[in-house]
Structure 1
Amino acid sequence: MEPPPDSLLKYDTPALITPTTDNKSPRARPLKVSPQQLVLSGPVPPPPKPKSPPAETEEILNAILPPREWKENNTRWIQQVSSTPATRMDVVHLQEQLELKLQQRQAREKGICPVRSELYSQCFDELIRQISINCPERGLLLLRVRDEIRMTNTVYQTLHASGMTFGIKKALQAEQEPSGKQRIADLENKNKDLERQVNEQKAKCEEIERQEAERRQVEEKQHTAQVQLLKRTNQQLKAHLEEIITPKKGKSSAISE
């Protein structure tokens, strides 16, 4: 595992975790050994002890900003946040480092940018560290504010991701399905096509009715002519029958006389 990258949060010098340190309680501070002290042999005079903050402040500081651990060459290292009070120059240097890292990592000025969010989060953690050293209660309150902001940002990112997914889905549906204007135009064309079919059917119906009327008139004329012909034939046959019957009646009367 590689060492953690540089951060705007101020840390102490990394310390080697000895096997005896692993058996201690989590709240116990690990034994700090400088790399130079590991190389030198012989008795080394202890360095002057700096003025350290109260143990309660250190516990609160470790609870707010937990130390980071990593492995390197089969050895475990731990690095705790610095408990040194910050000066005005430290704050000015923090601002300069923030601006420099934003430019170096090419963070976007607008919109959602993970790089900008990470750097501002580190800067806020450093401010919490500086304030917690002087007033632990204020640091705990800022911790609540930080957690609430992170939770809100997480919700916004989730909503943004779901909104992007919904937008892409709607865009794909819009590409597959015709738009409102296109659908209206298609329906109007379909309506015109149906009206044209109706007009064609009406024209066919009128043509059939006209043909049937003409055929009926022709059949009526033929029927009338046939009836008249039959009537004339009947009259001719009737007259002819009467002519045949009349001489017979004259002969029968003459025979009777």
Structure 2
Amino acid sequence: MIQPAETLLKYDNPVLIRTTSTDRKSPKVSSPSIALSLYSKLYNDFTPTSLCQCREWTIGNEMWVQQVSSAPCTRADVLRLEEILDTKLQQRQARQTGICPVRRELYSQCFDELIRQVTINCAERGLLLLRVRNEINMTIAAYQALHESSIAFGMRKALQAEKGKFDLEKRIEDLEKEKQDLTKQLNEQKAKYDVLEKREAEKRQVEEKNFTEKIQILKKTIQQLQVRFHKYKPKENLSIGVVFH
């Protein structure tokens, strides 16, 4: 582990609790959990240490532990905390509005330090502030989970919409192709209709001409028959009259 980063929460000076060695002849060292438990007994009378976990890190073969400070605070410490908070916000370029993980981290550290300072004077007040902090963190976590789920839901809907858009575009393309095919078939049928209509019109004209010629011939024949009928009609009447007498 590397040495923990600087925080606004005030800690005591680090304490060396274990030194590891690769020498097999060296005596066996207690496990870290036992060492930490023995070290924590020194701070049973200090309530703020139960509010935040201690920090531990390893440098080389040495393991260090740092507990939350139990030193009381003054007005100057509070003003100093405010100055450090403003400085860190500016150094880490935290955004003043909107969602900013850096700003939230620094204010969370500041809140933990205020809880530590209050707990020294009144443990009950510090415990109540701790409950408020936990409730705020739980609410933020719930909103964060809701935000992440909403993003996932939005992504799924966007993918579904994109897929639906792709299906609709493919459907439109198929319909356009079908329309072109139908238009081509319609043009072919129109061309066939025009050819058939022209052919039937020519056939009708030929038939009408033939019929007209036949009618003229028939009319001429009728006229000839009528002439012959009028020509021979008196003689027939006369011969008939002679026979009756």
Same fold (TM over 0.5): yes
Q: TM-score, normalised by structure 2?
A: 0.62
Assess, with a 3 A threshold, how the Cα gap between structure 1 residues 167 and 20 changes in structure 2: closer, same or farther. closer
Instruction: Note if contact 2:54-2:68 (Cα within 8 Å) is conserved in structure 1.
Output: yes
Post-superposition CA distance 1:209-257 (Å, at most 9, x none): 753652452253255258659979x99xxxxxxxxxxxxxxxxxxxxxx
The answer as to 2:81 corresponding to 1:94 is yes
- Seq. identity, %: 40
Name the counterpart of 1:154.
141
Name the counterpart of 1:204.
190
* Matched residue count: 200
Q: Separation in 2 of the partners of 1:197 and 1:21?
A: 87
The correspondence of residues 149-188 of structure 1 with structure 2, limited to 5 A, is 149-164=136-151, 166=154, 170=158, 177=165
Q: Separation in 2 of the partners of 1:129 and 1:213?
A: 108
Name the counterpart of 1:122.
109
Q: Which runs of 5+ in 2 are unaligned?
A: 19-28, 223-245
SS across alignment from 1:156: helix
Q: TM-score, normalised by structure 1?
A: 0.60
Post-superposition CA distance 1:36-92 (Å, at most 9, x none): xxxxxxxxxxxxxxxxxx944x1x422211111111121111100111111111111
1:218 to 202, 205, 215: 205
Post-superposition CA distance 1:116-152 (Å, at most 9, x none): 1110110010011111112222222222221222222
The correspondence of residues 53-72 of structure 1 with structure 2, limited to 5 A, is 55-56=44-45, 58=46, 60-72=47-59
Name the counterpart of 1:14.
14
The answer as to 2:69 corresponding to 1:82 is yes
Name the counterpart of 1:144.
131
Name the counterpart of 2:39.
29
Instruction: Note if contact 1:16-1:31 (Cα within 8 Å) is conserved in structure 2.
Output: no
Q: Separation in 2 of the partners of 1:212 and 1:63?
A: 107
Look up the equivalent residue of 1:13 and give its one-letter code. N
